[in-house]
Amino acid sequence: MSIAAPLPPNSWLGLLGGGQLGRMFTHAAQSLGYKVCVLDPDADSPTGAVADAHLQADYLDDAALAEMAARCLAVTTEFENVPAAALTHLAGHCRVAPAGSAVAIAQDRVLEKRFIASHGVPVAPHAVIARIDDFDTVSPGLYPAILKTARLGYDGKGQVVVDNAAQAREAWVRLGRVPCVLEKKLALRQEVSCVVCRAADGTSVTFPLSENTHRGGILAVGVVPARVLPEVERQARLHATRIAQALDYVGVLCIEFFVLDDGHLVANEMAPRPHNSGHYTLDACTTSQFEQQARILAGLPLGDTSAHAASVMLNLLGDLWFDHTGALREPPWAEVLRDPRARLHLYGKKEPRPGRKMGHLTLLAPTREEALAQAQHAAQVLGLAPPT
């Protein structure tokens, strides 16, 4: 993406992907005075409901891409599995951020780990599995391990924990005999993530780390500030910035890290977009990750990333909409919002389903301990497992 003059208000920004991340990006872009055109095949997409225009088509549809290129001065993406080819095509007609080349690396665990490690950021010990014979050369010391598909894995999908080579071979067959990464299962103290925002002129900023708890492979809780040593936070921000710079990345990028029992950091994976763990920035920071994405796309200066409050974010899945008998019901939002510092964000999805991300709730307080206490109460009201 070349450095160019900032786009004036009322310019059109394009978005590939119509999920909740796009919805929040659209609100941010519109608050800055821009119009948003979304390309997404779902007629009921959360973004399509709020965007100024919705192109309902496949991401590689020639006519839809041509219309977006003609209308929009700049285009971004809201999820990593948008075809990189679509971004590359649009780059011939308008600003595109992030570039298709960067997204292509993030879409493939093999390329991703190779790239991160080549720029001096530690990754977990692993082996690349392209065919079943590759298991023959795997050191027994790599087990127990997690077998992960190289592509299209997210929220714990495409991952199997294995204790030995026999289990790994069986898991590889169940996963469809596709290229995989066999990654050593490490002794973890915590999981944290860092959202880095990088503009076309190379300037970058990072948000405070989120300390993350996953359940069933899906982010459940994010605590900010993270309960890590200052040096761990400094290293994570440095690593995230280094990766973004090495990618020549333009946009918002999230790097997930493991904090090992010995205190060392290991990069797990990256997401070339705003991230669930950065949702707290909507309420706790001067500038949200979504406004940063809009600013970068429009060529505006980056905003301040400092947090003005501690926060705990609770992910709200479709399970909450069903009682113990399986009957559909509306969660008790009014009771949750009795806390005047609770911020509820629902994504406008019509059909709740178990495991489906329907919204998030952020609890704000002057201190992390107070925010955790508020989140524990909210979780009790909603019937969620309490954050710790």
The secondary structure of the chain in percent helix, strand, coil, rounded to multiples of 5, reads: 30, 30, 40
Domain identity same for 236 and 315: yes
Q: Given this model, what pLDDT does residue 1 score?
A: 46
Residue 55 lies in a domain: yes
Q: Given this model, what pLDDT does residue 154 score?
A: 60
Q: Given this model, what pLDDT does residue 332 score?
A: 97
Domain identity same for 154 and 257: no
pLDDT band with cut points at 50, 70 and 90 for residue 85: confident
Nearest Cα residue to 248 out of 185, 298, 196, 198: 198
Q: How confident is the model over 170-227, as pLDDT tens digits?
A: 999 999 999 999 999 999 999 999 999 999 999 999 999 999 999 988 999 999 999 9
Q: Given this model, what pLDDT does residue 82 score?
A: 85
Q: How many percent of the chain have pLDDT more than 70?
A: 98
Contact of 362 with 374, CB cutoff 8 Å: no
Is residue 355's pLDDT more than 60? yes
Query: How far, in Å, CA of 193 to CA of 237, rounded?
Result: 9
Strands 74-77 and 12-16: parallel
Query: How far, in Å, CA of 271 to CA of 78, rounded?
Result: 10
74: CATH: 3.40.50.20
Domain identity same for 67 and 201: no
Domain identity same for 201 and 93: no
Residue 113 lies in a domain: no
Q: Given this model, what pLDDT does residue 217 score?
A: 86
Is residue 95's pLDDT more than 90? yes
Q: Where are the alpha helices (DSSP H) in the chain?
A: 20-31, 62-71, 84-91, 100-106, 109-118, 165-174, 230-246, 281-284, 289-298, 333-336, 368-382
Residue 3 lies in a domain: no
Residue 2 lies in a domain: no
Residue 1 lies in a domain: no
CA dist 96 → 85, 241, 349 (Å): 12, 20, 28
Write down which residue in 184, 202, 228 finishes a domain: 184
Is residue 148's pLDDT more than 60? yes
Full residue range of the structural domain in which residue 81 is found: 12-106
Write down which residue in 106, 141, 158 finishes a domain: 106
Overall average pLDDT of the 152-157 stretch: 63
Is residue 2's pLDDT more than 60? no
Q: How confident is the model over 284-328, as pLDDT tens digits?
A: 999 999 999 999 999 999 999 999 999 999 999 999 999 989 999
Domain identity same for 327 and 351: yes
Domain identity same for 223 and 169: no
Domain identity same for 230 and 377: yes
Write down which residue in 163, 184, 205 finishes a domain: 184
Domain identity same for 245 and 378: yes
Is residue 156's pLDDT more than 60? no
Please state, rounded to an integer, the average pLDDT across all residues of the chain.
95
Q: Given this model, what pLDDT does residue 153 score?
A: 62
Question: Tokens representing 181?
Answer: 């990464």
pTM for this structure? 0.94
Residue 289 lies in a domain: yes
Q: How confident is the model over 96-144, as pLDDT tens digits?
A: 999 989 998 998 999 999 999 999 999 999 999 999 999 999 999 999 9
Residue 308 lies in a domain: yes
Q: Given this model, what pLDDT does residue 88 score?
A: 87
User: Based on the structure, what is the number of domains in the chain?
Assistant: 3
DSSP secondary structure letters along 109-177: HHHHHHHHHHTT--B--EEEESSGGGGGGS-GGG-SEEEEESSS--TTTTEEEESSHHHHHHHHHHTTS
Q: Given this model, what pLDDT does residue 3 score?
A: 62
Q: Given this model, what pLDDT does residue 226 score?
A: 98
Residue 118 lies in a domain: no
Q: How confident is the model over 239-265, as pLDDT tens digits?
A: 999 999 999 999 999 999 999 999 899
Is residue 165's pLDDT more than 60? yes
Q: Which residues of 134-151 are buried (b: 16+ CB within 10 A; e: fewer)?
A: bbeebeeebbebbbbbbe
Contact of 39 with 14, CB cutoff 8 Å: yes
Domain identity same for 142 and 54: no
**Residue that is written with structure tokens 């605590």 in the block:** 223
